[in-house]
A and B are shown apart, each in its own frame.
Chain A
Amino acid sequence: MSIGTFRGGVHPPEFKELTENCAFETIPNPEEIILPVSQHLGKDATPQVKKGDDVITGQLVAKAEGFISAPVHTSVAGKVLSLGKEITPTGFPKDAIVIKTNGTLEGERFRLSPLDPETITPDEIRARVAEAGIVGQGGAAFPTYVKLSPPKDKIIEVVILNGCECEPYLTRDYRFMIERPDDLISGLKLIMKALGVKRGVIGIEDNKPEAIKLLSDKILGETGLEVVALKTKYPQGAEKMLIKAVTGKEVPPGKLPMDVGAVIQNIGTAVAIHDAVVKGEVLTIAALTVSGKGIKVPKNLLVPVGTPIQNVIDFCGGVTEDAVKIVVGGPMMGVSQFDLHAPVMKATSGILVLTKEEITENPETPCLRCGQCVGACPLNLMPTKLSRYSQLQRYEDAEGADITVCMECGTCAYTCPANIPLVQWIRLGKQKVLEMQKERAAVTQ
């Protein structure tokens, strides 16, 4: 078996053992859920309910608005308590619908009509994915049906399911692969059908041999499907890295995977697509890993979207004495939290409670010009230079050094012995450069 990979990258400790053998558990409904109308990249959805309205589980509460958007459905039954700004895991308040649960309404549940995956047409798949409010589960939360609707002139050759789960601690995709392999493959086939693609690849890091074995066995005899083992390395699950490892092609700066004929979907997304088509389920449940040395009982959970982080943490026994940081997402790209009322969102992949011992912060010293960050950057950038330019506000130079290509994976900052907050500086510089480019575009118009 050939093991694909890319240049650069790092090997952070994985900590997968904390949760890899924890089967999904369903958390009870919270008293109250908070549903931001923007849980996806693109335009906010438009609320369809008023304060005081009764809603049933699965009911549409905010409609998609425009091409890149996704509807929001309530994950509980109850009464609309308020519409207004609520804190989200990004740290910023966003428009949200707050719903108070009401147990007596729980019996009823809204479902779409199930469809037959054998006879369904590509258009029906797209429509269903859009209607069910499915967004990419890998972080950016891009509305999935948009990815399933490439422009006519793009020829898609391969669909790659991202089974790398290269972020330390997270095991939710792994659990999906182990617990729901058939649904996963069914989801993959639906994606392939929607795109009219003959080749479907499931890329899995080689630190998950059971998943590789199980899925390889499941697809035996199927034409067009393959499981590819990939080297365990961060960030193997980044789209560009995954495409490079599987197809050998590099996505040029500023281009999309579809420009090299590939579409990447997350494992959880494939399962959600299967559920939406076969069971008629809209997306109201987030599957996530709760882990870290600071949580009493690490678990993999199925959580109603909108559940406050605090409830999830309580369900896992609370935090330990030495917990110092709570992160939503993985430890390499996740966001640290200050308000635990922020809700679990559709694309939330993990909640980590980290202790001082795990985060080893060393004092910052001047750059040693060691080149570790340069050698590690999977996109061949010069992180030390980019952060320096940003610090010195030399944004033109930063632009020239391709700062906008940076995917903020954190690999460089992970390696830096001088502990320079490289990604923080680069992020800032990138924002400035993007603003600059926008202004320029406005002027030339």
Chain B
Amino acid sequence: METTTTTETKQKVYFDLTTSPHLHSKWSTKKVMWFVNLALAPTIAAALAFFGIYQALIMLTAIAFAVGTEAAIQSIRKKQVTWFDGSAALTGLLLALTLPPNFSLSATAIGSVVAIGLGKQIFGGLGYNIFNPALVGRAFLQAAFPVQITTWMKPNFAVDGITSATPLAALKFDKVFTETTPMILGNIGGSLGETSAIAVLLGGIFLIAVGIVNWRIPLSMILGMIIFGGIFWLINPQYPTPIFHILAGSFLFGAMFMATDWVTSPITNKGMWVFGLGISLVLVIIRIYGGLPEGVMYSILFMNGFVPLINKYTVPRTFGAVKENKK
């Protein structure tokens, strides 16, 4: 068979031959991770403002050890070193923000190593872990340093009546309700990230606006809190109001930055609703019946464990398919 030439062969032969689609959104794993880090800026600023410069040391220590652990494990296992993708730094930063303002640096470092080692790399690295690594680190510290991790510090700009205790602890152990305004602003006792509701919301709304955080998770958690917290409060007004539940402790921080962790939250839209509502239900029960004042960490970790199951049972109905076994 003869081949024919049409024009001068001036064509370039190096044309890229990848398959469709030839356009991609501007997001990459790395860019997403750094955007989440960026979204924590207001919270970081609030932590520094309320608790002082020592907080910067906690955060830097946590990030350094997280990134270092990631790099060390990856090079030992002869895997590609991806510490610069921002995910390890994010884990370190998130962990730091769950710690009390006067937490020791050495314990912080241990927490970071555990978060990356046990929380992430043991499963095979980014994308394969089941539990939120920062929360795994935090849970470890809770067990290892139970006293230190519940020792709080009085914030700068504390107004009358504000003690170093967190609003939840104050309520649980002293039956003292904290006012709403300080909880919104953040001049209350608590861990670095949980104090200022406004700062957390700013970052969270930013992430929702750029499309990184799926709004279904924070919204379903808040709705869940209004429903389940509301039910308890209606039964017995001695229990905190839903508003208090939402503003106190690390609820908002968890809703915006922890529960929304891509890897450990459901991938289906319906699943996200189940997940968010589930977290709030578990949380209300822990806060009301549990021995500890706070429970966001446990409720998220608990629901993380159900994610594979949730994904399995919330597969969307294929377009045009008739719903099967509608009984």
Chain A residues within 8 Å of B, Cβ to Cβ: 10, 12-13, 30-32, 34, 81-82, 84-86, 98, 168, 240, 244, 250-253, 255, 308, 310-311, 314, 319, 323-327, 329, 331-341, 352, 354, 358-363, 365-371, 374-375, 378-382, 384, 401-402, 405, 408, 410-411, 413-419, 421, 423-424, 427
Contact = CB atoms under 8 A, between A and B. Distances in A.
A421 B17 CA distance: 13
B21 A333 contact: yes
A408 B19 CA distance: 11
A352 B318 CA distance: 33
7 smallest CB-CB distances across A and B, nearest first, come from A410-B21, A371-B267, A366-B127, A362-B28, A370-B262, A84-B1, A250-B320
A240 B262 CA distance: 30
B31 interface: yes
Contacts, number: 204
Interface of B: 1-7, 10-32, 82, 85, 125-128, 214, 262-269, 272, 315-322
B7 A310 contact: yes
A368 B127 contact: yes
A324 B15 contact: yes
Nearest to A292: B22
Contacts of B266: 371
Given A308-B6, A341-B6, A336 B32 contact: no
A152 to B, nearest CB: 24
Nearest to A361: B24
Contacts of B269: 371, 374-375
A382 B267 contact: yes
A327 B127 contact: no
B16 A336 contact: yes
17 contacts: A13-B23, A34-B4, A253-B320, A308-B7, A324-B15, A332-B23, A336-B15, A336-B20, A359-B24, A361-B18, A366-B126, A368-B126, A381-B318, A401-B315, A414-B25, A421-B18, A423-B21
A170 to B, nearest CB: 13
B18 to A, nearest CB: 6
Contact of A32 (B6, B127, B263): B6
Contact of B268 (A323, A374, A418, A427): A374
Nearest to B129: A369
Nearest to B4: A98
Given A82-B2, A417-B27, A417-B31, A250 B22 contact: no
Given A310-B6, A371-B266, A374-B268, A358 B18 contact: no
A31 B24 CA distance: 38
A13 B26 CA distance: 10
A402 B316 CA distance: 11
B262 A402 contact: no
Contacts of A358: 23
Nearest to A363: B28
A208 B256 CA distance: 38
A417 B29 contact: yes
A300 B82 CA distance: 45
Contact of A368 (B1, B21, B263, B318): B263
Contacts of A427: 19
A414 B32 contact: no
Nearest to A336: B17
Contact of A367 (B13, B18, B127): B127
Contacts of A341: 5-6
Contact of B319 (A378, A382, A421): A378
Contacts of B32: 368, 370, 417
B273 to A, nearest CB: 12
Contacts of A32: 4, 6
B105 to A, nearest CB: 31
A85 B16 contact: no
Contact of B320 (A251, A337, A359): A251
A414 B74 CA distance: 29
Contacts of A240: 319-320
B22 A310 contact: no
B38 to A, nearest CB: 15
A313 B20 CA distance: 21
A161 B320 CA distance: 21
Nearest to A374: B267
Contacts of A326: 15
A375 B214 contact: yes
A382 B125 CA distance: 23
B22 A365 contact: no
A322 B316 CA distance: 42
Contacts of B27: 415, 417
Given A310-B6, A371-B267, A336 B18 contact: yes
Contacts of A361: 18, 24
Given A85-B1, A338-B15, A379 B262 contact: no
Nearest to A360: B24
Contacts of B30: 362
A415 B318 contact: no
A379 B10 CA distance: 42
Contacts of B12: 319, 323
Contacts of B264: 369
B15 A384 contact: no
Given A374-B268, A417-B29, A338 B22 contact: no
A337 B125 CA distance: 37
Nearest to A410: B21
Nearest to B18: A336
Contacts of A332: 20-23
A46 B32 CA distance: 54
A402 B318 contact: yes
A96 B3 CA distance: 11
A388 to B, nearest CB: 11
Contacts of B17: 325, 336, 338
B317 A368 contact: no
Given A341-B6, A371-B262, A414 B23 contact: yes
Contacts of A250: 319-320
A387 to B, nearest CB: 13
B25 to A, nearest CB: 6
User: Of residues B4, B26, B272, B317, which shows the largest number of chain A Cβ atoms within 10 Å of its Cβ?
Assistant: B4
A210 B23 CA distance: 27
A365 B127 contact: yes
A10 B211 CA distance: 12
Given A325-B16, A366-B128, A369-B267, A336 B22 contact: yes
A281 B321 CA distance: 42
A53 to B, nearest CB: 16
A369 B4 contact: no
Contacts of B21: 331-333, 410-411, 413-414, 423
B3 to A, nearest CB: 8
Nearest to A367: B127
